[in-house]
Amino acid sequence: MNGFTLTGRAAPISARELARLLFSGRARRALRGLKVLRRAYDHVFVMATLEGVRPIRRPYYEAYVDALNILAAKATLIARAL
């Protein structure tokens, strides 16, 4: 696995940096937050899909799409902060 998948850089991650991330309380909290965001994203995605297949889209569909964009943006910010 290269460092790009872990840190967003093309350089490989060092063993010291990996150990720091593994034992960092901040990193663990961030991963828990990402897990919660992922669950919320999955739920909203299913709801948006159910609304999207209706013959006439109600205003809920646009709200679900907006919520998906917000959740994705928040997850990106958290991942970049690591």
- Per-residue model confidence as pLDDT tens digits over 9-52: 556 777 777 777 777 788 788 888 889 999 999 999 999 999 88
Report pLDDT for 8.
Answer: 53
pLDDT at 6 over 90: no
Angle, nearest 10°, between helix axes 59-81 and 25-52?
Answer: 160
Please give the model's pTM, rounded to 2 decimal places: 0.66
Instruction: Look up residue 58 and give its two tokens.
Output: 């109600």
Instruction: Look up residue 15 and give its two tokens.
Output: 């063993």
What value, to the nearest 5°, has the Cα angle with vertex 21 and ends 15 and 23?
105
